[in-house]
Chains A and B, each alone.
Chain A
Amino acid sequence: MTELTLDKFEKLKNELKSRQENNNNEVIISAGTCSIAAGAKDVIKVFIEEFERNGINNIKIKQAGCMGLCHVEPTLEIALSGMPSIIYGNVTADIAKKIVEEHIINKKVLTDYTQDRPANDIISEKQDNKSEQKQFRIVLRNCGIIDPENIDEYITRDGYSALKKAIFEMNPDTVIEELKKSGLRGRGGAGFPTWMKWNFSKEVESEIKYIVCNADEGDPGAYMDRSTLEGDPHSVLEAMAIAGYTIGAKQGFIYIRAEYPLAIKRLEIAIQQATQYGLLGNNILGSDFSFDIEIRLGAGAFVCGEETALLASIEGERGMPRPRPPFPAIKGLWGQPTIINNVETYANIPVVILKGGEWFSKIGTETSKGTKVFALTGKINNSGLIEVPMGTTLREIVFDIGQGIRDGKQFKAVQTGGPSGGVIRANYLDTPIDYESLKELGSMMGSGGMIVMDEDDCMVDVSKFYLQFTVDESCGKCTPCRIGGRQILDILEKICSGTGTKDDIEKIKLIGQAEKSASLCGLGQTAPNPVLSTLHYFNDEYMEHIEQKKCRSGKCKKLVTYSVIAEQCIKCGLCARNCPVDCISGEIKKSPFVIDQPRCVKCGNCYSACPVSAVSNKSEAVLLANH
């Protein structure tokens, strides 16, 4: 690779584009962390071996990032000239062999394994299918399409053209103007207008400024940023360079958690390749603008996703938040003006620059423009990494994209915003997703974790889970978060074990309010949200725990007693066979089965196994009351 000047860059891009048009036969295998976990490496091996065995050498085998079809990993796409591109899911080694045989050699699509493309491609104008797609991929435009370890593929799809445009055709003011037009707001959760943040930093006179990418994605169940970095690392690098150009910074840092080794590796490769091409480093594309990016690894503290704690961590200090103002945009890293945006925000920016703010602003709602990526998980049929225009309703996400609840169970709630967010109940399913609506419902956009819950989930238990997380992750600096969280957690433990009182609810509200309003940083300020929102929407469940000592979902072990209702028992013995501790006795076809209570570990296997619902999970207290 040689360093590119402006002319050479254009030439290279044209060459790459025409090369691709001439030969686009390829097998694209999704190879993000989750696909690899699901067996993508085996699939790749099969393709290599089979191609060799069959003498196929005109089809490229390529590893790409996440296609977004998490529920059917491993996935792959086959693009052969003369045939429509086909996506296959649930590909095992055997199916892979079949695909080579049938699809590639015999040109016959294996319809049993095909999957719908989640969204149209906004870069190549070739669109293939349905017009009423719910998804719209801006951030994930390259994920699952390009090889993230090959900068040429990024350049082929207009990569670094936005940077080129910014440097040679725009000035810092027009970049900010474009961002302003786009209406892009920070995707880290709070939704602060990006142009405004950049403008603050731009306006501060300082020799030294910094650009920071927050890739410390820590919400349980969230993997948007990891997937973006694994699938398209250059889009973030390019955007950071644009930010550097705009505010006059020469140095960028990507703060990424050490738990993301593949994303780190791909970022390292990307930085190296971009530097070799002269797209990072001194005098980018021969201009006066120079910009370097370094990676800083987080050591696993959730609070380091909070921007001031993140800065402290980069500086080598203990990762603890600092009071704001001054905001980092004015006084950030080592006291210098610093822009901190998260991965998703950055990934939008090259598109905003290339396609223009106006184009971008047409997507989304009045106040929330563009798209949002969600990691849709939980009790849902099609879990996956999705990107939808702002304003899409929860119902569309859960029932159209996600294809409803698993095992035909009842939808109960959806949790957005991770441990900082809240739950949204079924009757609000038609709420369009944007920053304001979610906040009104007591939840928040957050970074994009979206966890679907069904009737088997206990809402007290859910809030306890989230609170346990924030209590563990509290940095310990400010009182309300350090102690308040722990106090609420102890009360929830009490409620879940059947000794809660009505006063406890008032106590939770009091402490929660203090923690919310008086904590130093976002972690503490939002930590009570899950419990406050469940209290609001599922007060009845709390009251059941307190007054009836009952957990309707059976999640709160101390409130559950499994017992076989003798009259209903058909003496099949399935319960005993499924018991892991052998505490159920009885004789098949002869006598009803009986659970030995002291030995029961309350796993609930018998409850699920019973074909006639003869196992009851009512609490002892309830049983006593009934007698």
Chain B
Amino acid sequence: MPDTTTIYIDGKEIKAQKGENLLNVALKNGISIPNLCYHKNLSPTGACRMCIVKVEGMRGYMASCTVNINDGMKITAFDDELEQVRKTTLEMLLSNHNDDCINCTRDGDCELQDLAFRYDLGKSQRTLKSLVENTECYNDLSSPVLDYDASKCIQCERCVKACYEMQGKGVLSLAGRGINTHINAGWQEWKTSECDGCGQCVQSCPTGAIVQKPISGIRVRKKDIEKKVTTTCPYCGVGCQLEISIIGNKIVKVEGADEIPNFTKTCVKGRFGLDFVDRPERLKKPLIKLNGEFIEVEWEEALNYTAQKLTEIKNKYGSQALMGVSSARCLNEENYVIQKFVRTVFENNNIDHCARLCHASTVAGLANSFGSGAMTNSIEELEQSDVILITGSNTTETHPVIATHIKRAVLFNNAKVIVIEPRKIDLVKYSTLWLQEKNGTDVVWINGMINVILNENIQNQKFIDERTENFNELKKTVEKYTPEYVEEITGIPTEQLIQAARIYAGAQKASIIYSMGITQHSHGTDNVKSLANLAMVTGNIGKKSSGVNPLRGQNNVQGACDTGALPNVYPGYQKVDDPNAQEKFEKAWGVPLSNKFGLTITEMMDKAIDGEIKAIYLVGENPMVSDPNISHVREALESVEFLVCQDIFPTETTELADVIFPSASFAEKDGTYTNTERRVLPVNKIIEPIGESKPDWWIIQEIAKRMGYEMNYSSHKDILAEINSLTPSYAGITYDRIMQGEKLQWPCPSIDHPGTKYLHKDKFTKGKGTFFAIDYIPSKEIPSKDYPFVLSTGRVLYHYHTGTMTRKTKALPQYVEGPYVEINDTNAQNLGIESGDTVKVSSRRGKIILQAVVTDKVAIGSVFIPFHFAEAAANMLTNNVLDPVAKIPEFKVCACQIEKVISNPEKAKICACQMEK
């Protein structure tokens, strides 16, 4: 219990907690002590000196933001002396401030302006000489997303602290002395610094010193904003809450909302990358392909045509010839409707979505080990972990806001981070240990760590005995994985492995974080189960701040899985071959349902080429860039008789479609997403739909109706209510609760249930946790004479998935414009390659031409290519070999060759844009 005490501010009796911040307490109690450098989310700075008070028994004036409350403190907050000094101090600030309020985007929204007004310090009331003209100019306009105007800077350091304390980055600092003190990014300017454009500084600035560059070309002041809507970010799985400002159906400003899970933080994409929504390229009308040309048609015609074609194919080839692909980019409600459509109208379970390509192995693996395949803990719990083991996740780039939690844990809570990664990712800088494994050898080091733990007898035997099964099998299997054996295969030095095992096992609260580096392998499910083994051996699961946390990539990949867009389960992971489930859904949906597992996306491609699949209904996916072995994908999509696409933009995939429906973007519809920590978050309509675009659920409903299945949802509300009624884990996550601001984590079985912060407390979902004894199976394609390099693919911070959204924004391509391949310095030297050279990378499946980036980020013998860029699509090269259980392809390991094409860096850029076919 915190220690409560009574203090007296100007004689007023106030109850407060000992150690609480005095200024904060005063403000909470309506005593408005003026302040500028203080921010409740940041450590006190005591720089502006506006919040000075007198504290009985302390010499001189104290900055109240730096005073912690003590028993019975007596404080004078207002008297003539204090007010005089404050006024003089404020006048000093104003004398060195370029108060060009008339042309300032912060006019009406400026804390300095507010205080100047409060103290009646207009220009004519001031007595101090203006210093602005005589002060050197340190403006910095070089960042793609923001501008720094030193003449409006009051040196409060809020930006510096926001960058370091909230984002854990520390890019900003003060430079210069005295009157020339100014904000500096990195060593020189913003552009060349490590600033990644998250804009936390913009949001924290009390004046117009750091402001965003205009989004959508519109300069904006507070008073110009027509409305502000809080919604969920459409990019990654973190689910940041964004406050979006609108003028004239355009997004003009984005701020991080001070709500769970991001508490004002965002990344560069969330804050400066939403301007894609009204790009002219948006699909505005339905399109039908006639003689190879797309023709705009009215909705009615397109809907009728599509329903008719699908019905024809179903009648001609039988119901197994149709397949639906849903999208992790769509709402929960939409995924629900799409899978329902496939199951009731196509009369099969051929429904899948891109989770197949990212976390299928997680869903399969963790469900087997623990009973449910999701992040066991909440994002915010990471900050309290003693140890965070990160493997196969470049968190900084893929889940930037989660990375800030990790960085904060290290910087402010003394957490130890162990990074186990072939690549030298950003978090290595924050790590206690970096184990550089060879690609695809995860099972080996995990077994090795368990070997060390058992050998040193530092396992949690009580946990093993009471809560798990099959331990002896595991014990036998890991015996041969001695540190020496592990070093031989993984390249991880024995000492490091032992140290990592000790640190992880020795922690009170240890979290594992992983992502595609674990899952996208032909043995992805094995990898996941092995991590589960590691957590259970040490008992680091089922409690706060310790667990196994797969970071889900897309905004709603968790929700798409939860709502049944998978070939083997109904919403809520109710198995299609479970007669009870089948009966339940037949009753609810009023038609007989198949109990046979459907096809996965990856299987679908083969079946399409084989001629078994004749029609594909594809919602919000772009497999022509995102799926492995693109030549194979093209062949598959070209083989089917009828391909329907729903999307917001034309893509490499819609080119192959017979019908394209224009979808409404996240900004144009209502509904929910479920983020990576199982939290259901509201998506609120911000602007009117662009063109004639429609929500995906509406389009599907119209097709369903025309194919003879009645769907009559009047809004997303109806759909959510149906999800509540059929999905036990979502039963309590109702529209009303969401609207009341509750952000619940499933399982939430009833309307009075508070949601579940972490899973498997006291008991695993499946009862006892199961150890799986797993042996190492090498990746399917290993380097050979002709293809001597190992290729991994992945993402970069500035782009999302196939770039359909991010590449259409104004800011993001200024950071990363196009495709490139990372090559280790040593290899590059041997091949005579320098950064900027054009190189050809080829595998057994294809070739691409792109620019080389020579770096020590990748290990010798490895290369890395981000997969966002269609003009040099990494997935031309990747291997479509599958994990036998989860059917996930092996994106992370394939063999390739590199050759230099052109060494002229000037020409390099042009050539990189032409994909060799």
Binding site for B on A (CB under 8 A): 301, 318, 320, 322-323, 471-480, 482-487, 490, 507, 510-511, 513-514, 517-520, 525
Asked if B116 is at the interface (CB within 8 A of a chain A CB), the reply is no
Question: What A residues does B45 contact at CB under 8 A?
Answer: 323, 477
- Alpha-carbon gap, A323 to B44, bound state (A): 9
A514 touches B173 (CB 8 A): no
B179 lies within 8 A of chain A by Cβ: yes
Chain A contacts for B181, CB-based, 8 A: 475-477, 482
Interface stretch, picked from B124-132, B447-455, B584-592, is B124-132
Q: A476-B155, A478-B48, A510-B88 given as contacts; is B173 within 8 A of A487 (CB)?
A: no
Q: With A318-B173, A476-B176 in contact, do A483 and B131 touch (Cβ < 8 Å)?
A: yes
B88 touches A483 (CB 8 A): no
**CB contact under 8 A between A518 and B129, given known A486-B178, A486-B179:** no
Please state if B178 and A474 are interface contacts (CB–CB under 8 Å): yes
Given the known A-B contacts A472-B178, A479-B92, are A518 and B131 also in contact in the complex, defined by CB atoms under 8 Å? no
Residue from A318, A471, A472, A517 in contact with B60 in the complex, judged by beta carbons closer than 8 Å: A517
> Hey, which chain A residues are within 8 Å of B63, CB to CB?
323, 520
* A386→B66 CA distance, assembly (Å): 41
Question: Is B52 an interface position by the 8 A CB rule?
Answer: yes
23 A–B pairs (Cβ distance < 8 Å), ordered by A: A322-B46, A323-B44, A323-B45, A323-B46, A471-B178, A473-B178, A475-B177, A476-B174, A476-B177, A476-B180, A477-B155, A479-B93, A482-B92, A483-B95, A484-B92, A486-B96, A487-B131, A490-B129, A510-B88, A511-B88, A513-B88, A514-B84, A525-B60
Q: Does B85 contact A (CB under 8 A)?
A: yes
Are the C-beta atoms of A486 and B89 separated by less than 8 Å? no
Determine which of B49, B129, B176, B180 lies in contact with A487 in the assembled complex, contact meaning CB atoms within 8 Å.
Answer: B129
Give the distance to chain B from A17, nearest Cβ to Cβ, in Å: 48
A473 to B155, CA, bound (A): 16
Contact B173–A517 (Cβ < 8 Å): no
A23 to B88, CA, bound (A): 69
From known contacts A476-B179, A479-B48, infer whether A514 and B174 are also in contact, taking CB-CB under 8 Å.
no
CB distance from B123 to the nearest CB of A (A): 16
Interface string of B49-76 (1 = CB under 8 A from A): 1101000000011010010000000000
A401 CA / B895 CA spacing, docked (Å): 87
Cβ–Cβ contact B61 & A507, under 8 A: no
Q: In whole angstroms, what is the CA distance A301 to B93 when docked?
A: 23
Instruction: Provide the bound-state CA to CA distance between A625 and B219, in Å.
Output: 59
Contacts of A484 in B (CB 8 A): 88-89, 92
Partner of A482, one of B52, B128, B155: B155
Query: Which residues between 83 and 130 of chain B lie within 8 Å of chain A, taking CB atoms?
Result: 84-86, 88-89, 92-93, 95-96, 127-129
Q: Report the bound CA distance from A343 to B422 in whole Å.
A: 51
Interface string of B18-53 (1 = CB under 8 A from A): 000000000000000000000000001111111010
Which 4 pairs across A and B sit closest by C-beta, in order of nearness?
A476-B181, A323-B66, A323-B46, A483-B92
* Interchain nearest-CB distance for B96 vs A (Å): 5
Whether the Cβ atoms of B128 and A518 lie closer than 8 Å is no
For B47, list chain A residues within 8 Å (CB).
477-479, 520
Q: Which residues of A contact B179 (CB under 8 A)?
A: 471, 474, 476, 482-483, 486
Q: Is the CB of A487 within 8 A of B128?
A: yes
Q: List the A side residues contacting B154 at CB < 8 Å.
A: 479
Cβ-closest chain B residue relative to A524 = B49
Binary contact readout B129-149 vs A (1 if CB under 8 angstroms, 0 otherwise): 101000000000000000000
Give the Cβ gap from A491 to chain B, nearest Cβ, in Å: 8
A511 and B92: CB pair below 8 A? yes
- What B residues does A483 contact at CB under 8 A? 92-93, 95-96, 131, 179
List the interface of chain B (C-beta within 8 A of A): 44-50, 52, 60-61, 63, 66, 84-86, 88-89, 92-93, 95-96, 127-129, 131, 154-155, 157, 173-174, 176-181
Nearest CB in chain B to that of A514: its residue: B88
List, in ascending order, chain A residues with CB within 8 A of B61's CB: 517-518
Q: Name the distance in Å between B762's Cβ and chain A's nearest Cβ.
A: 36
CB closest chain-A residue, reference B36: A479
**Bound complex: CA of A483 vs CA of B47, how far in Å?**
12
Cα-based distance from A323 to B93 in the complex (angstroms): 20
Contacts of A517 in B (CB 8 A): 52, 60-61, 85
CB distance from B176 to the nearest CB of A (A): 7
| A476 in contact with B46 given A487-B131, A511-B92 (CB within 8 Å) | no
The verdict on A486 contacting B155 (CB below 8 Å), with A301-B177, A475-B181, A479-B92 known, is no
Closest-by-CB residue of A relative to B154 is: A479
How far is it, in angstroms, between the C-alpha of A320 and the C-alpha of B50 when the chains are bound? 19
A511 to B85, CA, bound (A): 8
| CA A480 to CA B178, docked complex, whole Å | 11
- Residues of A within 8 Å of B127, CB to CB, are 507
Complex Cα distance, B181 from A475, in Å, reads 8
Bound together, the chains give a CA A344 to CA B48 distance in angstroms of: 34
CB-based contact B177/A474 at 8 Å: yes
User: What residues of B have a CB within 8 angstroms of the CB of A478 in the complex?
Assistant: 46-49
- Contact partner of B89 (CB less than 8 A), chosen from A322, A475, A477, A480, is A480
Residues of chain A with a CB closer than 8 A to B48's CB: 478-479
A301 to B174, CA, bound (A): 14
Which of B66, B89, B129, B155 has a CB less than 8 Å from the CB of A514? B89
- Looking at the assembled complex, report how far the CB atom of A264 sits from the nearest CB atom of chain B, in whole angstroms: 24
Q: Give the contacting residue for A476; candidates B84, B88, B178; CB below 8 A.
A: B178
Q: Is A479 touching B131 in the complex (CB atoms < 8 A)?
A: no
Residues of B close to A513: CB separation below 8 A: 85, 88
Shortest Cβ distance from residue B419 to the other chain A in the assembled complex, whole angstroms: 23
A427 to chain B, nearest CB (A): 30
A487 to B174, CA, bound (A): 21
Contact B49 A480 (CB under 8 A): yes
Given known A-B contacts A323-B46, A487-B92, A473 and B173 have beta carbons under 8 A apart:
no
- Give the chain A neighbours of B44 by CB distance below 8 A: 323
For the complex formed, measure the closest distance between the CB of A412 and the CB atoms of chain B, giving whole angstroms. 30
- Alpha-carbon separation in the docked complex, A510 to B88 (Å): 8
Give B94's nearest chain A residue, CB to CB.
A483
Q: Which of B49, B60, B84, B177 has a CB less than 8 Å from the CB of A479? A: B49
Whether B129 contacts A520 by the Cβ 8 Å rule is no
Q: How far is the CA of A114 from the CA of B129 in the complex (A)?
A: 58
CB neighbours (8 Å) of A477 from chain B are 45, 47, 155, 157, 174, 181
CA–CA, A477 and B48, complex, Å = 8
Q: Which residues of B contact A471 (CB under 8 A)?
A: 178-179
CB within 8 Å for A518 and B95 given contacts A475-B181, A487-B129? no
Query: How distant is the Cα of A100 from the Cα of B571 in the complex, in angstroms?
Result: 106
Nearest CB on B from A571, distance (A): 47
Identify the closest chain B residue to A472 (Cβ): B178
A487 vs B130: C-alpha distance in the bound complex, in angstroms?
9
Q: Which one of B50, B95, B173 has the highest number of Cβ atoms from chain A below 10 Å of its Cβ?
A: B95
| Bound Cα distance from A520 to B85, whole angstroms | 14
Q: Specify which of A486, A518, A525 is in contact with B52 (CB 8 Å cutoff).
A: A518
> For residue A324, which residue of chain B has the nearest CB?
B66
- Residue from A472, A517, A520 with most neighbouring chain B CB atoms (10 Å): A517
- A485 touching B178 in the complex, CB below 8 Å, given contacts A507-B127, A510-B88: yes
Do the beta carbons of A518 and B46 come within 8 Å of each other?
A: no
Residues of B within 8 Å of A301, CB to CB, are 177
Tell me, in angstroms, the Cα distance from A519 to B45 when the chains sit together.
Answer: 13
| Chain A residues within an 8 Å CB radius of B129 | 487, 490
Which residues of chain A come closer than 8 Å to B173, judged between CB atoms? 318
Q: Which of B84, B88, B93, B177 contacts A473 (CB 8 A)?
A: B177
B-chain residues with CB within 8 Å of residue A511 when the two chains form the complex: 88, 92, 128
Q: Which residue of chain B lies nearest to A470 when distances are taken between CB atoms in the complex?
A: B178
**B88, B129, B174 interface centre (most CB from chain A within 10 Å):** B88
Q: Please, which residues of chain B bring their CB within 8 A of the CB of A485?
A: 178
CB distance from B256 to the nearest CB of A (A): 27
A479-B89, A479-B93, A487-B129 known; A519 vs B49 contact (CB < 8 Å): yes
- How close is A419's CB to chain B, nearest CB, in angstroms? 13
Which residue of chain A is the closest to B182 with respect to CB atoms?
A: A476
How distant is B257 from chain A, measured CB to nearest CB, in Å?
Answer: 30
